Amino acid sequence: MLELMLCSLLTILPDYLYRRYAQGKRIGREITLYSVWFELRWGITACLMLTVALITIIFYNHPSSSNVAAYFRTVPIVPETIGRVAEIYVGVSDNVEQGEPIFRLDDSSQKAAVETARRRISETDAAIVVARTDVAIADGQITQAEEALQQALDELRTKSELNTRNADVVTRRELERLQRVVDGREGALNAALATREGATLRLETLLPAQKASAEAALSEAEVQLGKTVIRAGVSGRVEQFALRVGDLVNPLMRPAGVLIPAGAGRERLIAGFGQIEAQIMRPGMLAEATCLSQPFAIIPMVVTSVQDYIAAGQFRASEQLLDMQAVTPGTITVFLEPLYEGGLDAVPPGSSCVANAYSSNHDRLASGEVGGLHAVYLHIVDTVALVHALLLRIQALILPIQTLVFGGGH
């Protein structure tokens, strides 16, 4: 309507003034309700053509979108294990800091596992003490075997010398018996040495390894016990937290609730512009937005990113072929950030908004690269952005009326 009124000032109004004052035709005489089209046909036709051209120029070069929202990502509150809720530390709606506990699961089995692991460590420590005693016993057995072997060697040496001097004093059978005794004593010494080596290996290698395994099992049990207390991964706010003591929580099927990170949805707006504007949308374009949750306010924005892919064109491999007729046209996803710090602080995350983006040809005109009719066209394009900005402000003014009166208060 605004474009039609502006175009009529340049077409219908001059045509009427010409008919009225140049040709002398008067309203109610020559210009009647029935003769309006014939008398003002050139102005009406030019007005309609100019209106269509103006609307096309405005909406193509200065895109508008009502598919704008302050989207935000929520963090699900889920434990790493299945369990029944034993204690809750926050309310239905509450602020939490990073690392602060939210609720606790029943931890009786985890505590039992921790106690079992501690007992195994104590058992290993007792086994180490016993192993030290076994090493000491083995040392005594080695000493005893060495003394017995030395005694047998001395006796064999003495009898051998006597046999050398006089063969009749010591029989050969006696020497063989003494040699067998020496061999047996050597075997006993080797056995004692092997026993000591086994006790030493058990003390210095096996039992420390068992203790390390027990300590690792204790650490694992303590980790599992720590997982029964679910803490906030980030600082934020818990909303609609209806979990109660006795509820069964499953990390795959039954999350406990959601955590909204602090500042979520207050950094940027995400807008969906028409595909026909893909050649116009560029990072760095200035934009404006007005939100339903903050009427009468125009928020200066800037385009920071334009997504290279249209979400409507994605598909997943399945047993069915893709029917292109079923694919609806998608939008160009554009990310808008406030031009000034804190611009979205008063906008609740999740708000629905309307946004305009404005093309600017000032740099091209200032560089002198374009001239003639092209330069005039670019001046017109930059000028008509004022019309779109005015439309956004009118929309911001009538938005509460449209919502509360004509929308039934919703």
pLDDT in tens, 89-120: 988 888 999 989 999 999 888 899 999 999 99
Q: What angle do CA 384, 387, 388 make, to 5 degrees?
A: 100
Q: Is residue 409 part of a domain?
A: no
| Domain-ending residue, one of 261, 282, 305 | 261
Give the tokens for residue 331: 């939008």
**Residue 332 to residue 355: CA distance in whole angstroms:** 14
Give the tokens for residue 92: 């239905």
pLDDT for res 410: 53
pLDDT for res 333: 92
Residues 94 and 206 in one domain: no
Neighbours of 72 (CB within 10 A): 17
Minimal CA–CA distance to 103: which of 247, 315, 286? 247
User: Could you tell me the CATH number of the domain that includes residue 380?
Assistant: 2.40.30.170
Residues 101 and 220 in one domain: no
pLDDT in tens, 242-270: 888 888 888 777 777 888 888 888 888 99
Residues 99 and 246 in one domain: yes
**Residue 305 to residue 337: CA distance in whole angstroms:** 9
User: What is the domain count for the chain?
Assistant: 3
Residue 362, domain extent:
57-72+265-313+329-403
Q: Is residue 201 part of a domain?
A: yes
pTM of the model: 0.69
Q: Is residue 11 part of a domain?
A: no
275 CB-near residues (< 8 Å, 6+ apart): 310, 329, 330, 331, 332
Chain-centroid distance, C-alpha 281: 27
Indicate whether 335 pLDDT > 90.
yes
Using 50, 70 and 90 to split pLDDT, how confident is the model at 327? low
**Residue 299 to residue 8: CA distance in whole angstroms:** 31
227 CB-near residues (< 8 Å, 6+ apart): 79, 80, 81, 110
pLDDT for res 2: 63
The size of the chain, in residues, is 410
Q: Is residue 129 part of a domain?
A: yes
Q: Is residue 184 part of a domain?
A: yes
Instruction: List beta partners, residue 303.
Output: 336
Percentage of the chain modeled with pLDDT above 70: 91
pLDDT for res 180: 79
Residues 282 and 237 in one domain: no
**Residue 51 to residue 57: CA distance in whole angstroms:** 10
pLDDT for res 130: 85
pLDDT in tens, 261-306: 888 888 889 999 988 888 888 999 999 999 988 888 899 999 999 9
Phi, psi (deg, nearest 5) at residue 287: -150, 165
389 CB-near residues (< 8 Å, 6+ apart): 288, 356, 358
Residues 111 and 82 in one domain: no
Phi, psi (deg, nearest 5) at residue 234: -140, 160
Residues 184 and 86 in one domain: no
Residue owning tokens 């040392």? 139
Residues 96 and 243 in one domain: yes
Indicate whether 386 pLDDT > 90.
no
More confident residue, 37 or 256: 256
State the alpha helices, DSSP H only, in 36-107: 36-39, 41-61
Residues 156 and 204 in one domain: yes
1 CB-near residues (< 8 Å, 6+ apart): none
Indicate whether 168 pLDDT > 70.
no
Using 50, 70 and 90 to split pLDDT, how confident is the model at 169? low
Indicate whether 409 pLDDT > 70.
no
Residues 144 and 199 in one domain: yes
Residues 236 and 102 in one domain: yes
